[in-house]
Amino acid sequence: MVEPAPLPRPAGGPITSQLNRQVPDYLRGLNPEQKDAVMTTEGPLLVLAGAGTGKTRVLTTRIAHILNQRMAWESQILAVTFTNKAASEMKKRIHEFVPNFEGLPWMGTFHSVSARILRAHAELVDLKPQFTILDTDDQIRLIKQLLAADNIDEKRWPARQFANMLDGWKNRGWLPKDVPASESGYFANGKGGQLYYDYQARLKTLNATDFGDLLLECIRLFLENPEVLAEYHRKFKYMLVDEYQDSNTAQYLWLRLLAQGKPAPEANICVVGDDDQSIYGWRGAEVDNILRFEKDFPGAKVIKLERNYRSTANILKAASTLIAFNEDRLGKTLHTDIAEAGETISFTQVYDSEEEARTVGEEIEQYQRAGEPLNSMAILVRASFQMRELEERFITLGLNYRVVGGPRFYERKEIRDALAYLRLVAQPADDLAFERIINVPKRGLGDTTVKTLMETARHQNVSLLSATRMLTETEELKPKQRTTLRGLVDQFDNWAYRAENLAPYQLVEQILEESGYMDMLAADKSAESQGRKENLKELSRSMEEFESLGGFLEHISLVMDRDSAEASDAVTIMTLHSAKGLEFNTVFLTGWEEGTFPSQRSMDENGRAGLEEERRLAYVGITRGRKRVRISAAQNRRIHGLWQSAMPSRFVDELPPDAVTVTDRGSAYGGYGYGGGATSRFNKADPFESLYETPGWQRARANQANRKGGGPMTIEGELVARSVDLGGQSSGYTVGERVFHLKFGYGDVKSVEGNKLTIEFEKAGMKKVLESFVQKG
């Protein structure tokens, strides 16, 4: 991973010695716009910072400046980010300016700051201060219970779907009463709205919130208790927000409430963002928030950072030309002071995704031989299913790689199990944790037993653990189960007792041992069990710095990320989304095919807005590269196990021809070259009306008309070879159907044998082809 240039340390040592200097050291090396953004501390400020323009540096310097000039105490600054990673990066970099800096108490994610505020005033929103924060997994299990209780068919109305809807509502700042029937009515034939009420009621019973509630309940707290809000108005003198383009409506409301302590022209709020890098619309982010900042805060100053310190002129030109195809943007143009244009961007079309993986692998090795570290190279894909082929190829090559964004540490089963034990010790009312571990490891307590426990809990209106305690005193359960439960309850009492004096990391080790969890892993012969044991050790190690169990659980529910700064030299494979904010010398952008990127689904669901978000994703991808960007498209790709062909992405056509070099490896197989040029720009008035109207398809048609017979005979061999792994697939085509083939053009199906079709093509004559190579005509 490439570290940004280190910030200059203040030469004068402690802050006091720097007071009253005219130009503090930390301002040196900033360009005029950056300096302006740092020094404009009073009033609302919008910093539009393009990719690679030193956004983080401006934010951190600004905070350092405020502290240095003693404009505010640390506790009077509120700095919010979206990710823990961004927050810790900011803390680290401020520390470089201010050696005796002890950490800003109010610097963190929206969610962690909200949680902190909520714990201080929990009783005002019907919670107890030690409330649990549920993650997505808990949330879904809770919803499943509600669906079951309401006799809603979970197949027809999946819990996950409701969770997504719920998330969307909460992102928009809607409490149960605010959800319009037109939104909620759809789910489970009109029961959606009521489910939201029931869900919230369950959360209160569990003394829990989900992530969305951290913000929503905070907003409710402020609205219903003006004196509490006023307290924070007095408290925060300066507010800063990073990645403002990613904010959703709830976050927006939260911010406005906090920022409006003073009349708008005096609110010291600084938001930093880039509308061109807004790629989380599907998650509820509203680009509109950044677009209307000047209206929200009349008199706001706007500073654009357009000087890019990262990429070559060719890369910037490509990115700028591409993003200019978007209509919804504030409009910035990146430029650089570097005179050299650098390498041109390369675009390569290959036969299929396997060849793409092969080519990328070869090129990486080539650069590696030329002395480039693997750490400086990355492959960015649109969707994670594209990673597998790359990984397989790299394993074959023995090429060291690392995948970013796989299942995260805390999402692993064994970690979640261990956490469930700890949660139950800390909060005996945590029924979700109880359900998770009651029979893990296996104790012979099955559905029947759990059902009895749940019934008792509901009737007596107590937690599952209390219900268990009660049932060990009665004859309701079979003796075997009763004994087991008695033992379990005793264990939990014991652990809770020990939790008072024992360090959390010791407690977790003892729990895992005494519960039989370690024995279970030891007995497990599968390849994974060793890794699970190591993960649990890692968990215990990460707990060493925590003195109380409560403190650790708070941390884990909000952070739950393992920052694994792996030291070894490896190529990074990750999605475009997770690459935002990073940079690499060499970037490979694979899978630039219509349907894959831009994603068909995105366009179908969100039309032009969807397409524009995809384009911003392309922009993010290109601007990750410092020296070299290599784009590729495969003519054929296996999607969900079926081979499908596709045209190169329309985004390829939107790159400036003079900054791009085209290498067409696909041509040997009858592919077509890169059309390029202004003539093949796609029709902006109607960009997603039909896939077949895109320039790629137009070119393909023109090409197949010129080419007639298609490629050399090797294709046939290739096709036959492929039919092996497709054998037995039943055909989706019928005799007489009209189809379109990438190389042979239009034709009619003459016969069908499994997945092989005999087609009479208009231009190419009779051919046998696999159905996966044709499209319905």
Task: Catalytic residue, from 35, 55, 172, 382: name it.
Answer: 55
Question: Catalytic annotation on 604?
Answer: no
170, 332, 402, 624: the catalytic one is 624
Task: Answer yes or no: 277 catalytic.
Answer: yes
SS3 of 208-229: EECHHHHHHHHHHHHHHCHHHH
Least distance (Å) from DNA to the CB of residue 414?
A: 15
Residue 678: Cβ-neighbour burial (10 angstroms; 0-12, 13-18, 19+): exposed
698: helix, coil or strand? Answer: helix
Considering 33, 138, 198, 243, which one is annotated as catalytic? 243
In angstroms, give the least distance from the CB of 13 to DNA.
34
Closest CA to 671 of 357, 345, 347, 322: 347
Residues 728-767 as b or e (16 or more Cβ within 10 Å = b): ebeeebeeebebbbbbbbbbebeebeebbbebebeebeeb
> Strand 377-381 relative to strand 738-741: parallel, antiparallel, unpaired?
unpaired
Marked catalytic residue, from 277, 336, 349, 635? 277
Alpha-carbon torsion 167, 170, 172, 178, what sign? positive
Question: Which residue's structure tokens are 């005999």?
Answer: 758
Q: How far is the CB of 526 from DNA (least distance, A)?
A: 10
C-alpha to C-alpha distance for 501 and 676, rounded to whole angstroms: 70
The answer to whether 590 and 395 have CB atoms below 8 angstroms apart is no
CA atoms of 261 and 209, how far apart (whole Å) = 27
Per the CB < 8 A criterion, the answer to whether 260 and 219 are in contact is no
Shortest CA distance to 63 belongs to which of 89, 30, 18, 93? Answer: 93
Per-position DSSP letters for 538-563, written without gaps between them: HHHHHTTT-SSHHHHHHHHHHT----
| Least Cβ distance, residue 498 to DNA (angstroms) | 27
Pairwise CA distance, residues 267 & 78, whole Å: 13
Q: Quote the CA–CA distance of 233 and 69 in Å, as a whole number.
A: 21
Closest distance to DNA from the beta carbon of 84 (Å):
4
Closest separation between CB of residue 290 and DNA, Å?
17
In whole angstroms, the minimum distance from the beta carbon of 201 to DNA comes to: 20
Which C-beta is closer to DNA: that of 383 or that of 502?
A: 383
* Cα–Cα separations (whole angstroms), residue 244 to 217, 260, 566, 660, 664: 21, 17, 30, 32, 40
Spot the catalytic one: 167, 213, 217, 242. 242
Q: Give the H/E segment covering residue 766.
A: strand 765-770
Smallest gap from Cβ 385 to DNA, in A, equals: 6
Task: Name the minimum Å distance from CB 159 to DNA.
Answer: 8
> Cβ closer to DNA: 269 or 558?
558
* CA–CA gap between residue 715 and residue 773 (Å, rounded): 12
- Is position 116 annotated as part of the catalytic site? no
Q: With respect to DNA, which residue has the nearer C-beta, 15 or 206?
A: 206
Q: Which two tokens stand for residue 459?
A: 């009737």
Give dist(CA 333, CA 307) in Å, integer. Answer: 9
Contact predicate 596/614, CB 8 Å: no
Query: Rounded to the nearest whole angstrom, what is the least distance from the CB of residue 239 to DNA in the complex?
Result: 18
Which helix (H) or strand (E) covers residue 660, if one does?
Answer: strand 660-664
- What H or E segment, with its residue span, contains residue 197? helix 192-205
Write out the residues near DNA by the rule CB under 7 A: 82-85, 109, 111-112, 135-136, 154-155, 167, 171, 211-212, 248, 282-284, 382-385, 405, 408, 439, 442-449, 558, 561, 574-575, 577-578, 599, 601-602, 605, 638, 640-641, 725
SS (H, E, C) 459-505: HHCCCHHHHHHHHCCCCCCCHHHHHHHHHHHHHHHHHHHHHCCCCHH
Task: Extract the tokens encoding 677.
Answer: 């040029």
Position 236: which residue type? F
User: Which member of 56, 76, 623, 704 is catalytic?
Assistant: 56
Q: From the CB of residue 673, how many other CB atoms can be counted at a distance below 10 Å?
A: 13
**Amino acid identity, residue 455?**
E
Helix (H) / strand (E) containing 653: helix 650-653
Q: Is 242 a catalytic residue?
A: yes
Burial 449-459 (b: 16+ CB within 10 A, else e): beebbbebbee
Q: Is the distance from CB of 614 to CB of 602 less than 8 angstroms?
A: yes
The residue among 56 and 599 lying less far from DNA, judged by its C-beta, is 599
CA angle 563, 564, 567 (to 5 degrees): 135
Cβ 212 to DNA shortest distance, Å:
5
Tell the smallest beta-carbon distance from residue 641 to DNA (Å).
2
As annotated, the active-site residues are 55-56, 242-243, 277, 624
